[in-house]
Structure 1
């Protein structure tokens, strides 16, 4: 399932001729700071002159979502309802047309919003995420994501010339989503070249779509694994995911060995489509400076200081989510260290290794669970009762 290579060559040569005759004018017209919130890019924007709202910047979002709560607070009324297809399936949305979009006091024009009752995960400090945006910005500008400086830079798409020394890959824009190629190698040494959604909204290294899992017989060729049902995508619907590792992933001129991978079994949404092999997520993308050029069908990837970082894998058997700034346990894996220690979904974390979580940052909470072999002492609250337990961090894969 590969993109048409002759088309790729035409795009590359066309890009060469377009760029070679133009003088570089690579001054961003807008620079937007962002927060990297547990691998989600959060920017602030304004709708119809509103106060700043928190939006997830998601290249995997073909439309612009806003929560019903935020839409109601702004007085927006939807004119019609329809179904919107997300990563993990479809859900009903309302359509709100003619909304004025502004970023950092810069007017970007009118957009159509899709209002949804699907809850979006809070930021780790308790602030709400009001919506998800991708295509309306990516289609109007050359977009550079600098994960080291936490800056989103928007360039004029008609005057921009790429002058960096990174890898340039062709992308196809399918249903407003950017698709590019990568090579996957499993532990049985079987390899395939596939077409993958470049998804800044995915908190993952790589996810393989359900049809490709079956087609390439991947389930038993990803080493040790564990399974969990987790919420994925903007729709926040649950899908069964099997987590393991690839022998290697070849992407943008780099060979990533023993990279974590998730295998989807979903029967709906993008991860069920036979012509998309999966998703390249933000945990891999953040190792580059990423430059999207939708106009010329290109993506430029420049390795940054994080390119050689070790992979973060699950050492606890649970994930953390924040509600009103408080950390809660979710997605507890059967027979994992957390499960054996008696932790359950919905437990509120009160302290870690004697430190009250209210006195430490969310990053310190995350860092506490990253050292394989460390002993963790944790106090949780469940049904208004406190419980102390301990366990040893151990890699699940």
Structure 2
């Protein structure tokens, strides 16, 4: 594992320090030359390869990692074990790759991963000392003071990469830390305990942080080898190994029903022989709620940080499951996250036991027939292209498929996400860059979604045309995200396409060939309808809790307030009425009067009528 390595398991990052302006800029090459001299000087000129072994500590777990590096090319492989989780990641002539504990290999081509990998290759090749290896723009970024320590800072932008800072201790000349803004956080890697190895001064201790100490990653080096012979196979992505799946009786495929609730797909599965109903999420990992894990006699190990669409983060642990059965398909020996999904059962209005997603999609061709509510898993070698369907190629944004598309003629990358109920959520950076809020059309600020990390506020509007390759979706309801944190702040992504659009098709996902097949169904020509009441309701103890009331909406005109409890809807007890049905009623035709019984605090129940209107 290199002294410049990214976090192997989870991304992490930084606190702020005081900035001290310099009277005169210092040539970055002077700072870098001083750092090279302090780190071994000319001894670096002969370094071709590095091999290292380390101890890892993070999230309450400890483990080990081993790295092999081609220093002159910047290629590397890191393999690690942490609690129940094992895996590897690397960078070769083709790009970055990752391998999970089952042997599956994925190449991500997201902007975040691509630019981050280019930066990593730049650092691993020590190109700041050897600019002929990988070019970059270097500028002086001044000095900063921390107590009695002064740091010279060099801003680096590798060709094809993104900016990052290198901090050098003014007293010792040694490289003290790297600071890099990723898609979702600022990540700081600090280096200490420098010791001499083969004429080089190398750090024997690293700390990676995102500013929240409980998720820091500590790395302690136990071995460095300089210029060992490294087999070329160690520095290329391994071949995928997917021998942990089977279909009963030699079948080529299996088909099972699913429920569509709030545009989310719920399937019945068996985990270690116990029946559970889980959500199917194209980009999600395997997840169990703590209650489900406990019922299975499993316990999460460690405490790690997860980010979703909401602005907050959640903690999760890791556990291992013997087998998951989906219809006649069995997937064995899988790592699951144990995560509470705080409040999502209230948001969905139904119990949520967990998720299955990427691991299933990677092993089968997955066909989702939204109209018939049928899910089919097919062996990739037995898959036949669906006649009449349109094939759209995709790349991976980490584990989520990502398509080149256009929104009203503006090009961007759009993730395809069955785990989202929305039609289209546009990221804040994309909306701001293209001034989408200033374009003509009605816009309302509202609580427009809810996911991991909490509610999602945005400007809800209607776009003209969404193009996903050759697939066209006219007039989709579109949310322009107002989030300051979370996945909808990713500057590399234009938007997230969810179930509100996907339900208009039969969609077939072929992760191995990286294609999605779209077949329009009977819902394709229907109008995309957003809520017409101005209410966001979640399940509460005595009915539905009002979480949001849009200013100037029918709900506001009827006197509803955030925190109110809806007791009945059209005479039906809210505690007995599925929340999804209530939401459908509030999408009724404009002019429809929806009668509610509402209570504010400890006050007496009152009857109100919400007259629906077209909101966007």
Both structures adopt the same fold (TM-score exceeding 0.5)? yes
1:80 Cα deviation (Å)? 2.1
Distance 1:206 1:40 in 2: 14
User: 1:14 is matched with which residue?
Assistant: none
Distance 1:314 1:127 in 2: 20
C-alpha distance 352-91 of structure 1, shift in aligned 2 (>3 A):
closer
Distance 1:299 1:325 in 2: 43
Distance 1:339 1:244 in 2: 19
User: 2:320 is matched with which residue?
Assistant: 97
Contact between 1:230 and 1:331, CA under 8 Å: does it hold in 2? no
Q: Does 1:59 align with 2:282?
A: yes
C-alpha distance 229-320 of structure 1, shift in aligned 2 (>3 A):
closer
Contact between 1:101 and 1:109, CA under 8 Å: does it hold in 2? yes
Contact between 2:390 and 2:471, CA under 8 Å: does it hold in 1? no
Distance 1:53 1:221 in 2: 46
Distance 2:440 2:455 in 1: 22
1:3 Cα deviation (Å)? 8.3
User: 1:82 is matched with which residue?
Assistant: 304
1:175 Cα deviation (Å)? 1.0
Contact between 1:125 and 1:324, CA under 8 Å: does it hold in 2? no
Q: Does 1:245 align with 2:245?
A: no
User: 1:375 is matched with which residue?
Assistant: 593
C-alpha distance 120-362 of structure 1, shift in aligned 2 (>3 A):
closer
> Which whole-Å deviations, capped at 9, do the CAs of 1:189-216 have from their partners, x for residues lacking one?
xx31111110111111111111101111
The number of residue pairs the alignment matches comes to: 366
Q: Does 1:314 align with 2:538?
A: no
Larger radius of gyration: 2
Give the gaps of 5 or more residues in structure 2: 1-108, 112-250
Contact between 2:317 and 2:338, CA under 8 Å: does it hold in 1? yes
Distance 1:134 1:338 in 2: 37
Distance 1:313 1:55 in 2: 26
Contact between 1:341 and 1:391, CA under 8 Å: does it hold in 2? yes
Indicate the SS of the match to 1:122. helix
User: 1:164 is matched with which residue?
Assistant: 387
Matches within 5 A, 1:351-362: 351-357=568-574
1:351 Cα deviation (Å)? 3.0
Distance 1:387 1:58 in 2: 40
Distance 2:448 2:467 in 1: 27
User: 2:370 is matched with which residue?
Assistant: 147
Indicate the SS of the match to 1:44. strand
Matches within 5 A, 1:1-397: 29-50=253-274, 52-61=275-284, 63-88=285-310, 90-104=313-327, 106-119=329-342, 121-122=344-345, 127-185=350-408, 191-221=409-439, 223-229=441-447, 232-233=450-451, 235-251=452-468, 253-323=470-540, 326-357=543-574, 364-369=581-586, 370-384=588-602, 385-397=604-616
Contact between 2:349 and 2:579, CA under 8 Å: does it hold in 1? no
Q: Which shows bigger deviation, 238-247 or 138-147?
A: 238-247
Distance 1:326 1:243 in 2: 26
Distance 1:112 1:362 in 2: 32
Indicate the SS of the match to 2:615. coil
Indicate the SS of the match to 1:219. helix
Contact between 1:209 and 1:276, CA under 8 Å: does it hold in 2? yes
Distance 2:447 2:570 in 1: 28
1:160 Cα deviation (Å)? 1.1
> Which whole-Å deviations, capped at 9, do the CAs of 1:108-150 have from their partners, x for residues lacking one?
1121111123325338996411112210110110000001111
Distance 1:126 1:163 in 2: 35
C-alpha distance 254-135 of structure 1, shift in aligned 2 (>3 A):
closer
Distance 1:40 1:134 in 2: 12
Give RMSD over aligned pairs: 2.6
- Relative to the length of structure 2, the TM-score reads 0.55
Q: Which has the higher contact order (CA 8 A, sep 6+)?
A: 1
